[in-house]
């Protein structure tokens, strides 16, 4: 059952617009269009509303040798496992494992287009982002895979001042990637593409 506070938050202008657009569009399904040998994964873009201001949750992944996303700002999520009956189940399970946050106590409002890494050095994955709204007073118990969490107002991700660059050398070639500034970090890569897609559905 949806809690009264959550029902109110779902009516907040940005959240309501996003919900409606997710409901009326058909998200791109990469599993029908690309190599099905790619591993599948899912992430959760989690929103809450505090004092009528919508905020988006980011995690900073713990530093770990061999993890291509070590130390990155990201969304909770991970790879699809054989016992997951859907990618939505994967997103729910991974969020629960990483943060002890149960998305079924909130409201899943839809999903974004599937994405695949553009960097050839990354694992061949198809990543499906889901969007959820949770109560403003949710609490976390991050596991060892999560070094920190950040709630970021959506307005802080809008406009030119929110944009940043991440510079990376790949195979001896210096490359610049668009990003968003969050605290002392830069959100870039797959997570930047998810944020950009989400904001494009909210803003007129």
Which stretch of 11-15, 18-22, 68-72, 127-131 has the lowest confidence by average pLDDT?
Answer: 68-72
Q: Where are the alpha helices (DSSP H) in the chain?
A: 4-10, 13-24, 87-99, 190-202
Q: Please state, rounded to an integer, the average pLDDT across all residues of the chain.
A: 90
Q: For residue range 19-63, list pLDDT tens digits in order.
A: 999 999 999 998 886 555 678 999 999 999 999 999 999 999 998
Question: What is the mean predicted confidence (pLDDT) over 162-175?
Answer: 84
Q: What is the CATH number of the domain that holds 134?
A: 3.90.79.10
Tell me if 197 is assigned to some domain: no
Q: What is the pLDDT of residue 1?
A: 40
Q: For residue range 94-123, list pLDDT tens digits in order.
A: 999 999 999 999 999 999 999 988 766 667
The domain in which residue 139 lies consists of: 4-158
Q: What is the pLDDT of residue 63?
A: 81
Question: What is the mean predicted confidence (pLDDT) over 116-145?
Answer: 88
Q: Number of folded domains in the chain?
A: 1
Query: What is the end-to-end Cα distance of the chain in Å, rounded?
Result: 31
Tell me if 165 is assigned to some domain: no
For residue 111, give the nearest of 7, 38, 194, 48 by alpha carbon: 194
- 56/170: higher pLDDT: 56
Q: What is the pLDDT of residue 148?
A: 95
Tell me if 19 is assigned to some domain: yes
Instruction: Please calculate the CA angle 82-87-89 and round it to the nearest 5 degrees.
Output: 80
pLDDT range class, residue 68, cuts 50, 70, 90: low
User: What proportion of the chain, given as a percentage, has pLDDT over 70?
Assistant: 91
Q: For residue range 172-194, list pLDDT tens digits in order.
A: 888 888 999 998 999 999 999 99
DSSP label of 133: E
Per-residue burial over 59-98, b = 16 or more CB atoms within 10 Å of its CB, e = otherwise: bbbeeeeeeeeeebbbbbbbebeeebeebbebbbbbbbeb
Tell me if 172 is assigned to some domain: no
Tell me if 169 is assigned to some domain: no
* Residues contacting 187, CB < 8 A, separation 6+: 58, 73, 179, 180, 181, 195
Task: Please check the confidence at residue 70 and state whether its pLDDT lies above 90.
Answer: no
Tell me if 168 is assigned to some domain: no
Tell me if 150 is assigned to some domain: yes
């Amino acid at each position: 059952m949806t809690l009264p506070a959550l029902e109110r938050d779902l009516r907040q202008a940005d959240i309501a617009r996003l919900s409606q657009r997710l409901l009326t569009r058909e998200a791109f399904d990469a599993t029908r269009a690309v190599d099905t040998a790619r591993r599948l994964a899912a992430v959760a873009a989690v929103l809450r509303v505090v004092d009528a201001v919508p905020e988006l949750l980011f995690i900073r992944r713990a530093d770990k040798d061999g993890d291509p996303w070590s130390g990155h700002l990201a969304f909770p999520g991970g790879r699809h496992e054989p016992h997951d009956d859907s990618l939505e189940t994967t997103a729910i399970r991974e969020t629960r494992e990483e943060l002890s946050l149960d998305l079924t106590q909130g409201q899943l409002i839809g999903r974004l287009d599937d994405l695949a890494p553009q960097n050839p050095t990354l694992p061949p994955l198809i990543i499906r982002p889901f969007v959820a709204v949770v109560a403003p007073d949710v609490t976390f118990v991050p596991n060892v895979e999560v070094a920190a969490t950040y709630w970021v107002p959506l307005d802080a991700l809008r406009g030119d001042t929110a944009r940043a660059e991440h510079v990376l050398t790949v195979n001896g070639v210096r490359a610049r990637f668009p990003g968003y500034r969050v605290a002392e970090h830069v959100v870039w890569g797959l997570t930047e593409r998810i944020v950009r897609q989400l904001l494009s559905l909210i803003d007129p």
